[in-house]
Amino acid sequence: MLKVYGIKNCSSMKKAFDLLNELGLAYEFHDYKKQGIDADTVKVWLDQIGTEVVLNKKGTTWRKLSTAEQEAALGTEAGLIQALTTHNSLIKRPIIATGNAFVVGFDEAMIRGLN
């Protein structure tokens, strides 16, 4: 079963849910706005997917961080994990865990390929 991580009220998430439902793919949803996200999960994402893919620098949450907070997030892996677990809107959405790989962001072709 797929595990979908994200925030329920997000346009990318809504498109992903609609497509997953259309394809009849079973999934478990982890809403990290309500449930939070643990450092171990974030570390796995950073190790397997990479900082540039996981960290959403285009969103308002990143822009609202002070320069010092941005530098702390980018300075060390521990700083980045702290930033992502504290400000989970910094995580690109959705992250779909397939068991052995990840789809990050709404990518229709990749999601259709999960079928």
Active site residues: 10
| DSSP H helices in the chain | 11-23, 39-48, 51-54, 60-64, 67-75, 77-86, 108-112
CA dihedral 50, 40, 101, 14 (to 10 degrees): -90
Q: How far apart are CA 84 and CA 72, in angstroms?
A: 12
